[in-house]
């Protein structure tokens, strides 16, 4: 007959299996982060190349494409290491679905690069294509955060995802500004998009600061010193305050690209530190849980023979260690130790569940906002930026949180007419 210790050891083995999956997941999100950084730079160079009608940036773009392709292979290898045979829970199922979609995006990169090389696509279309591929990769990181069952690791993944998302908005800002400067003309739509991207960055970085450790948050704040951001802020003002349709100095395109790149490189340093901390935490948790299992194995070897009546202290109100009277046999002490471990395990899992619910609240808020934004886009024929701006304005007018407005929008879904064309 299986004992309580048997199931306690099974629980530890399950934890170890889960932690080993998290170690692989940590390596995966690290590889995804490196590829996203490369694709962001490739996107910026593609915008400069297309904005100059192919007269400049050709060699730099091709060199970056080669670098991105190498990192792309690393991500595909990381995908390959994941265990897809074990029956997944709902969170793992969403992660695997996100990976499948991301793999389709990576396969489509060759076509995108060919169209840029031939100058067959405009800068906005190429940008949207890169955004779609990068968004698919970021969705993998999002689902990885949502599938993590350890609250400390989940917290790190939430911080990592929001930092990557903020960095992606910064990368989109670089691409959008590069296209404007390279074209030599200010456009109202492009200016509004820049403002939206700047605000979106700050929102994501605030969530990162809420979930990251104090050391990383402080390191990021130090990297945001005013003197380092001054060149970028000056060029932002040029782009955002120029009269729509008015000229822009094409010679500023290099300065803009360099200023944005300096900020993105600073963000990459923080991203690398986040990734290292995540990997270290996964390894530390795995080692400590393996030690706990070894201790359980040791206790099992000391158990009294089966069938011997023992007072384990199950019905005592006091903690087990204090409830055991002196003079008990070794068997009773071991039985009491097992009961203490069972109680400790149950309490720890309950605490982990409570903390995990708190951590996942941030992810759930994002899901709610994205669903409401999609509803507005479908029913009011709005672009993504316009839908987000509409909800943000509603939140300001009503003095409510954005997620509260999103929930109200979704509550109206059942009574809204079908989207046009259905």
Q: Which of 346, 349, 408, 421 is nearest to 379 (CA)?
A: 421
For 256-301, how does the pLDDT look when each residue is reduced to its tens digit (9 = 90+)? 989 998 888 888 888 888 888 888 888 898 898 898 888 888 877 7
pLDDT of residue 329: 38
pLDDT beyond 70 at 34: yes
Q: Among the ranges 106-115, 168-177, 392-401, which has the highest mean pLDDT value?
A: 106-115
45-54, 145-154, 222-231, 334-343, range with the lowest pLDDT: 334-343
- Residue percentage of the chain with pLDDT more than 70: 82
The CA angle 281-272-170, to the nearest 5 degrees, is: 130
205 touches 162 (CB < 8 A)? yes
Which residue's entry shows tokens 């940036």? 57
Q: Where are the domains of the chain?
A: 17-283
Give the residue-averaged pLDDT of 124-133: 92
How far is residue 73's CA from residue 70's CA, in Å, rounded to a whole number?
5
Q: Among the ranges 74-78, 326-330, 402-406, which has the highest mean pLDDT value?
A: 74-78
Give the residue-averaged pLDDT of 54-64: 92
pLDDT of residue 191: 87
Q: Got the DSSP string for 157-181?
A: HHHHHHHHHHHHHHHHHHHHHHHHH
pLDDT beyond 90 at 126: yes
44-53, 90-99, 172-181, range with the lowest pLDDT: 90-99
**For residue 404, what pLDDT band results from cuts at 50, 70 and 90?**
confident
pLDDT of residue 318: 46
pLDDT beyond 90 at 66: yes
Phi, psi values for residue 201, rounded to 5°? -55, -50
pLDDT of residue 108: 95
Q: Between 87 and 139, name the one with better pLDDT.
A: 139
pLDDT beyond 70 at 422: no
112 touches 130 (CB < 8 A)? yes
pLDDT of residue 130: 95
Task: Give the number of other CB atoms < 10 A from CB of residue 131.
Answer: 18
- Residue 244 parent element (H or E): none
pLDDT of residue 189: 84
For 343-401, how does the pLDDT look when each residue is reduced to its tens digit (9 = 90+)? 665 566 566 566 656 666 777 777 788 888 888 887 777 777 778 778 877 887 788 88
pLDDT of residue 20: 85
Residue positions counted in the chain: 422
């Amino acid at each position: 007959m299986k004992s309580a210790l048997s199931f306690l050891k099974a629980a530890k083995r399950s934890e170890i299996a889960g932690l080993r999956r998290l170690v692989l997941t940590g390596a995966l999100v690290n590889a995804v982060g490196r590829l996203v950084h490369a694709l962001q730079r490739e996107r910026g160079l593609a915008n400069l190349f297309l904005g100059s009608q192919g007269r400049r940036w050709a060699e730099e773009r091709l060199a970056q494409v080669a670098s991105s392709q190498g990192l792309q292979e690393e991500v595909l290898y990381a995908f390959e290491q994941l265990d897809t045979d074990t029956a997944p829970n709902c969170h793992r199922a969403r992660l695997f679905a996100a990976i499948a979609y991301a793999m389709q995006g990576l396969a489509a990169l060759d076509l995108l690069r060919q169209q840029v090389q031939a100058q067959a696509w405009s800068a906005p279309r190429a940008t949207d294509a890169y955004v779609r591929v990068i968004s698919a990769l970021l969705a993998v990181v999002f689902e990885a955060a949502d599938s993590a069952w350890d609250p400390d690791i989940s917290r790190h993944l939430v911080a990592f995802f929001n930092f990557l998302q903020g960095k992606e908005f910064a990368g989109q800002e670089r691409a959008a500004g590069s296209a404007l400067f390279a074209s030599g003309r200010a456009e109202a739509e492009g200016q509004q998009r820049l403002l939206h991207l700047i605000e979106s960055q700050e929102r994501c970085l605030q969530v990162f600061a809420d979930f990251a450790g104090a050391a990383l948050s402080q390191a990021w704040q130090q990297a945001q010193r005013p003197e380092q951001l001054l060149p970028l802020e000056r060029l932002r003002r040029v782009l955002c305050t120029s009269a729509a349709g008015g000229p822009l100095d094409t010679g500023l395109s290099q300065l803009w690209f360099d200023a944005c790149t300096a900020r993105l490189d600073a963000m990459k340093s923080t991203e690398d530190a986040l990734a290292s901390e995540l990997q270290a935490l996964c390894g530390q948790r795995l080692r400590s849980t393996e030690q706990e299992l070894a201790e359980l194995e040791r206790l099992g070897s000391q158990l009294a023979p089966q069938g011997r009546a023992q007072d384990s202290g199950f019905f005592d109100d006091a903690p087990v260690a204090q409830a055991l009277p002196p003079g008990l046999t070794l068997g009773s002490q071991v039985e009491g130790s097992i009961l203490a471990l069972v109680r400790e395990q149950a309490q720890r899992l309950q605490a982990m569940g409570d903390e995990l619910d708190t951590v996942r609240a941030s992810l759930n808020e994002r899901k709610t906002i994205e669903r409401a934004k999609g509803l507005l886009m479908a029913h009011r024929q709005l672009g993504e930026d316009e839908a987000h701006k509409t909800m943000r304005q509603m939140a300001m007018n009503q003095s409510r949180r954005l997620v509260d407005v999103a929930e109200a929008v979704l509550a109206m879904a059942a009574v809204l007419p079908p989207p046009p064309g259905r």
